[in-house]
Structure formats: structure tokens, C-alpha cells
Amino acid sequence: MRKFIAWAFFAALLCSCTAGKLQLQDGYYSAEAAEYDSHGWKEYITIYVSSGKIIYVEYNAFNASGFVKTWDMNYMRIMNASDGTYPSAYTRYYGGQLLAKQGIQGIDYISGATDSYYSFIKLADTVLENARIGNTMTSLVDLSSVIK
């Protein structure tokens, strides 16, 4: 009997540690690039978690004046003409994939927005880790190592 109780305690402890690692804590979590990129944008992601699930994702970028990238019509026209996509399209896609998959596994990149894909994955990984440990402070993420 003692052996069973010890084993049951160990199993419960192991399960609670594993569950705590995987379970997202409720709240808002954000991460943003530590520096502006070569085009003057700083990418960020914010998620809202409720009942352990992501229910809201915002992925975008802003410049030094606070203007958000998805509102820049000139940038959209230029990028769409050269790359076949634009910020308002790929940010919604990547954010929607994170929401649907509840994690970064299986999120595919969009041709023409691969730099932003790698930045998104790194930012999303950081924000998900924050949600696991309950860190609601905005994390600054070094994106200089991301393939660009």
C-alpha cells in the first residue's frame, strides 16, 4: 500500500508539472521586436488567453511614430506588386493560424512574407512561453538572428 501511495503521489506530481508547462494561463501576453527592422518597423504580437485557450491574436508592426504597418496603403501596394501579398493579408493569416492551432506547430509560411513568418514564429514562441508561466510583461525579442 505504501508503495502505491508513493507511486500515486509521484504520478500526480509529474502530471501537475507537465500540465503546468503546457497549460496557458489566462490574461494578455505580448512580445515585440527589440529593435526596428531595416524598413523602420517593429513587429509585435499580443494574445489573450481565457480558460487556458487563445481567443484573440493581434500580429502587426509599428514604426517610430506609432503608425501600424497594416494601415500603410503605399507599402501595401508596393509589397503586393512585388511579393504577391501584403501586411494586412499575412498578419491576419499568421494570427489566424496561431488561433486555430493553439500553437506554432504546423503554421505554414506565405510566399512573399517569409521574413515576417520567421519573426512571427519567434515572437509567438516567446508570447506562448510567457502565457505558460504567467508573465504579463511585454517581452523584447531579438529578431536580428531571424533569416532576412
pLDDT for 92-113, tens place per residue? 999 999 999 999 999 988 887 8
Give the residue carrying C-alpha cell 509560411: 109
Q: 112: domain range?
A: 24-141
Residue with cell 486555430: 100
Flag whether the pTM goes above 0.85: no
102 occurs within a structural domain: yes
What pLDDT score does 45 carry?
A: 97
Residue 49 sits in a domain whose CATH number is 3.90.1010.20
- Cell numbers placing 118: 520567421
The answer to whether residue 18 is domain-embedded is no
Q: Report if residue 84 sits inside a domain.
A: yes
Look at residue 11 and tell me if it is in a domain: no
In a domain, 8, yes or no: no
- Whether 9 maps to a domain, the answer reads no
* Cα within 13 Å of Cα(107), Cβ side: 27
Q: How many domains does the chain have?
A: 1
Query: What residues contact residue 15 under an 8 Å CB cut-off, 6+ apart?
Result: none
Q: What's residue 147's pLDDT?
A: 59
pLDDT tens-digit readout, 4-58: 444 444 444 444 444 444 699 999 999 999 999 988 999 999 999 999 999 999 9
Q: Give the mean pLDDT of 114-135.
A: 94
